Structure 1
Amino acid sequence: MIIGVPKEIKTDEFRVAITPAGVRELVQAGNRLIVESGTGEGSGFHDADYRDAGAVITPDAAEVFAKAEMIVKVKEPIAPEYDLLRNGQTLFTYLHLAADKVLTEVLMQKEVAAFSYETLSVEERLPLLEPMSEVAGKIASLMGSVHLGRYHGGLGLLAGGAVGTERARVMILGGGVAGKAAAEVAAGLGAEVTILDINIERLHYLKDVLPPHVTTMYSTLETISQILPQCDIVVGTVLIPGAKAPKLITREMLGIMKPGSVLVDVSIDQGGCFESSRPTTHSEPTFIEEGIVHYCVANMPGAYPRTSTFALSNATLPYVKLLAKEGSKEVWEHYPVFKSALNTYEGKLYNAAVGAAHGIEVSILS
């Protein structure tokens, strides 16, 4: 198969979908790789590295999209890339379609076979989302601590405090991969941490593996409302696979928070779990609303692209190989795992959560 790797053009996105080592493996498996010039520079990979691995380097994205049977990316296509997509082309990337009706309609109109990293499920795990969830969770606590600084609009409290002073109080909503990572980092910084989830079994696990000074609690609106006024940092990591994130903190609830406290919305790619959230970028990562600092960067792992690229490519490469081997046409018959990753195919939508978010009829695989 001819596989295209275009340069990511989303603001402040420096990750790349495939490393030179991944290119080498795909070429050895009989595939042809076309890589846009400069696509790996932000992650520390040069054109020569890709060329030495067997890829053809092309100067512009248009040629990559025009020649490739399958496009492998990190982030979802954005407006300048819509016209580059071809009918019948395969796309494998993070899509987050529940938060983007326009892209959903474009993929259907173009009859793109669109498979998403974030919905691919293996025994209730999301193996292609987990690496970036871990990175984003760690970043969330770091950035929450940084933006608690006064010069960022925060209340000026050091997360771990100092001798004779109070520590920051951190509430983490969601105990999945991102929430666990956020709790580990916040606790490591010396903050007082409470992590909430609605899965009792998961809470038992978190209690066993997290530091003793991390408190686990069952998540209810009442519990959140009781804890919120004492919090200095709130990290939202809740996830409903493929669907919009639930709004766990309403705009009205900002009024009971400390002025200068920080909200970090890891769920912003899925619409955000705070009602007042809106996507931001690494260049302009925060805004202040009702006196509360909001950090809502839509591609948090992009801040550390080399780590993120290795972590992502390690997870996705086996699935890229399978998709290239079988092609998008009925790949799920030989590898049923791809049923969960399929979002659009031959003009139809196959993801129920996306259909519910946009009021679009959903088809069922036979």
Structure 2
Amino acid sequence: MIIGVPKELKDHESRVGITPAGARALVEAGHKVLIEKDAGALSSFPDDEYQAVGAEIVGEAYHVWSNANMIVKVKEPIPSEYYHFRKDLLLFTYLHLAPLRELTDALLEKKVTGIAYETVRDRVGGLPLLTPMSEVAGRLSVQVGATCLEKERGGRGVLLGGVPGVPPGNVCIIGGGIVGTNAAKIALGTGAKVTMIDLNLNRLREIDDIFGGRVHTLYSNAYNIEKAAMEADLLIGGVLIPGAAAPKLVTKAMVAKMKKGAVIVDVAIDQGGCIETAHPTTHTDPTYEVNGVVHYCVTNMPAAVPNTSTLALTNATFPYVMKLARLGANVAIREDAGIAEGVNTFNGFLTYKAVAQAQNREYKAISQVHP
């Protein structure tokens, strides 16, 4: 198979879909690997490292897309890339289609087989390709939130850890999953007071055990969310419903009652966000204010640390890349139920139910349309 790795075009997206180590393994397995010039440079993987392991460096994205059987990316294609789509193309990347109707239209029109990292399942029903970036984003959320709290960046001027004689900052985390747990680790490490809100009581019990009672836990309802939001210096949204639009748990009215200069980091923004006042931002222009509350809503947060993020991501994605290259999409979908779960578009059909519900579209299970 010919595997293509184009350079990412999303704003300040500096990760890359395959590392030189992955390219070497593919070449040794008999596949051809096309890397767009400088695709890995911002992740500290220069072209000569790819060439040294047998990959071919291609000067233009068009030649990567047009010659490859499978395109391996990190983030969803942007509109300028849609013209590369074609019927026989396998696209393996994060797609996050729920809020992206235009991209969904393009994938369906061109009958692209789109397998989304974020909906691939493992044998125990987990999300193995979403987990590493959720870990990175969760840890980064506290780091960027602490920076945004600085007065010169519009924040309240609060140091999360406080100092002797001065109380620490209040961090409220909504969602006790991978993002929330990793955010809690870093927030506790700064010395902040941390509150976590979740709908799953068993998960709250686990959080209490993991952190030895140092994280204050609250059951998720509108009353508790509003109260915690009003007390928060830093509010982190980390709610996930796989493949679906995130629920709006923090309303505009709640944001209006928050402290002036408080900070919101909505990690769920690539699925539409769980804060009603949140809208996507970029690394170029990452923040804005609503009612005096600073919002950080960058949709590709892990791109801020591309070397770490690329290594973490490809550790998880590469076994699937190799399997798809070895078997081809049709056989892999038929033989691996987890890969089948990852298929969002196939031969002009939308095959992921949560995306169909978010966009009010017709849905066909992959088993109904796959030969």
CA distance in 1, matches of 2:146, 2:299: 18
Query: Is it true that 1:317 corresponds to 2:318 in the alignment?
Result: yes
Query: Is it true that 1:47 corresponds to 2:47 in the alignment?
Result: yes
- 1:330 Cα deviation (Å)? 4.2
CA distance in 2, matches of 1:197, 1:343: 28
Query: Is it true that 1:135 corresponds to 2:136 in the alignment?
Result: yes
Query: After the TM superposition, which residues 186-225 of structure 1 pair with which residues of structure 2 at under 5 Å, given as runs?
Result: 186-210=187-211, 212-225=213-226
Query: Is it true that 1:348 corresponds to 2:349 in the alignment?
Result: yes
- 1:285 Cα deviation (Å)? 1.0
CA distance in 2, matches of 1:333, 1:284: 43
| Structure 2 residue matching 1:282: 3-state secondary structure | coil
**Identity value in percent:** 47
Query: Is it true that 1:231 corresponds to 2:232 in the alignment?
Result: yes
Instruction: Provide TM-score, normalisation by structure 2.
Output: 0.97
Look up the match of 1:246.
Answer: 247
Per-residue deviation, residues 222-242 of structure 1 (Å, max 9, x unmatched): 111122211111000000000
Look up the match of 1:4.
Answer: 4
CA distance in 2, matches of 1:133, 1:284: 22
- 1:81 Cα deviation (Å)? 0.3
Equivalent residues of 2:208, 2:214 under 8 A apart? no
Query: Is it true that 1:164 corresponds to 2:165 in the alignment?
Result: yes
The change in CA–CA distance for 1:280 and 1:5 in structure 2 (over 3 A counts) is same
Output the amino acid matched with 1:19: T
Unaligned runs of 5+ in 2: none
Equivalent residues of 2:230, 2:254 under 8 A apart? no
- 1:331 Cα deviation (Å)? 2.1
Output the amino acid matched with 1:84: H
CA distance in 2, matches of 1:125, 1:337: 9
Query: Is it true that 1:96 corresponds to 2:96 in the alignment?
Result: yes
Q: How many residues align structurally?
A: 366
Per-residue deviation, residues 273-324 of structure 1 (Å, max 9, x unmatched): 1111111111211001110000001100000000000000000000011111
- 1:218 Cα deviation (Å)? 1.5
Look up the match of 2:175.
Answer: 174
The change in CA–CA distance for 1:51 and 1:211 in structure 2 (over 3 A counts) is farther
Structure 1 residue ranges (4+ consecutive) displaced by more than 4 angstroms after TM superposition: none
CA distance in 2, matches of 1:298, 1:40: 20
CA distance in 2, matches of 1:118, 1:344: 14
Larger displacement relative to structure 2 (306-315 or 24-33): 24-33
Equivalent residues of 1:113, 1:346 under 8 A apart? yes
Query: Is it true that 1:303 corresponds to 2:304 in the alignment?
Result: yes
Equivalent residues of 1:35, 1:55 under 8 A apart? yes
Look up the match of 1:17.
Answer: 17
Per-residue deviation, residues 50-69 of structure 1 (Å, max 9, x unmatched): 01111111001000001000
CA distance in 2, matches of 1:265, 1:145: 14
Unaligned runs of 5+ in 1: none
Equivalent residues of 1:184, 1:211 under 8 A apart? no
